[in-house]
């Protein structure tokens, strides 16, 4: 994969991953703290969801494709801000590229390893792979944690719980009601390869398109 990079602040800063963006927006300026544009939060949400739908279901066109029955699902296993790259090679506005597949694995590989384990070597208290995997944070929940981090502009290194709830009284001031509503369902997708992820992604894509048509979202250079 080519090295991705994007320009922000009128081209005076080069960023490669979301961590760079968080560090930049976490800096205090003489005018006070910078605020991440809501439009960029939408772009991160949609771009990462599209990447997960491709990995999990082989879906590239959100509006036309159905899950490919011959697709071998891939679990990324590391959906965090340091692994989400930004690219301005195809647009002036940063596009999202999910990278760093160092610990990613095909779903069949995980199942094969499980089935080769003698019964006594199963993780204690679990009788099936599905039961065991249900105890882990899903990639949708990892994305929810990342969006929480972005929405609240937690600088890299700040203490925050991955998968923290997106909602309640914790929304930062100025975050749009449209984005708040669309983020809520991420908390409910607690299992990888859940087909509801595809339905949810389509909802995000459609909602974002409607907001652009209504003039509520305008993607200006960061």
The per-residue pLDDT of the chain, averaged, comes to 80
- Token pair 């039961």 is found at 131
How far apart (Å, rounded) are the C-alpha atoms in residues 139 and 170? 22
Name the most confidently modeled range: 21-25, 92-96, 212-216.
Answer: 212-216
Q: For residue 18, tell me if it sits in a domain.
A: yes
Q: What is the pLDDT of residue 48?
A: 96
% of residues, the chain, pLDDT over 70 = 73
> Is 222 inside any structural domain?
no
**Mean pLDDT calculated for residue range 46-52:** 95
Ramachandran category for residue 112: left, alpha or beta (phi over 0 → left; psi -120 to 50 → alpha):
alpha
- Using the structure block, give the residue that is written with the tokens 């200006």: 220
Question: Is residue 1 included in any domain, yes or no?
Answer: no
User: What is the number of structural domains in the chain?
Assistant: 1
Tokens for 128, please give them. 């099936």
Domain assignment of residue 220, yes or no: no
> Considering the domain boundaries, does residue 219 fall inside one?
no
Mean pLDDT, residues 173-185 taken together: 85
Task: Give the pLDDT of residue 163.
Answer: 44
pTM of the entire predicted model? 0.83
**Position 221 in a domain:** no
Distances (CA, A) of 10 to 7, 120, 159, 191, 221: 7, 60, 30, 40, 7
The CATH number that applies at residue 76 is 1.10.510.10
What region, left, alpha or beta, does residue 87 occupy, with left being phi > 0 and alpha being psi -120 to 50 degrees? beta
Is residue 46 predicted with pLDDT exceeding 80? yes
pLDDT reported for residue 42: 95
DSSP-H helix ranges across the chain: 18-26, 38-57, 107-115, 129-133, 139-151, 177-183, 196-213
- Among 77-81, 104-108, 177-181, whose mean pLDDT is lowest? 104-108
Domain that holds residue 104: 6-213
Q: Is a pLDDT exceeding 90 seen at residue 54?
A: yes
Distance of alpha carbon 196 from alpha carbon 188, whole angstroms: 10
């Amino acid at each position: 994969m080519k090295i991705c990079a994007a320009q922000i602040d009128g081209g005076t800063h080069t960023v490669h991953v979301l961590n760079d963006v968080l560090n930049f927006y976490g800096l205090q300026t003489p005018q006070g703290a910078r605020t991440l544009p809501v439009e960029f939060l939408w772009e991160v949400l949609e771009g990462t969801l599209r990447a997960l739908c491709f990995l999990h279901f082989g879906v590239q066109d959100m509006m036309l494709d159905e899950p490919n029955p011959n697709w071998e699902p891939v679990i990324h296993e590391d959906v965090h801000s340091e692994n989400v790259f930004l690219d301005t090679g195809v647009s002036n506005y940063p596009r999202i590229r999910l990278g760093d597949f160092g610990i990613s694995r095909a779903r069949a590989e995980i199942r094969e390893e499980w089935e080769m384990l003698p019964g006594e070597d199963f993780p204690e208290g679990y009788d099936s792979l599905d039961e065991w995997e249900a105890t882990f944070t899903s990639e949708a929940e990892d994305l929810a944690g990342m969006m929480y981090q972005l929405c609240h502009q937690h600088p890299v290194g700040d203490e925050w719980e991955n998968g923290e709830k997106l909602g309640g009284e914790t929304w930062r001031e100025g975050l749009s009601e449209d984005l708040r509503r669309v983020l809520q369902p991420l908390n409910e997708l607690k299992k990888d390869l859940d087909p509801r992820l595809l339905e949810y992604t389509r909802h995000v894509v459609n909602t974002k398109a409607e907001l652009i048509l209504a003039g509520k979202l305008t993607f200006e250079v960061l």
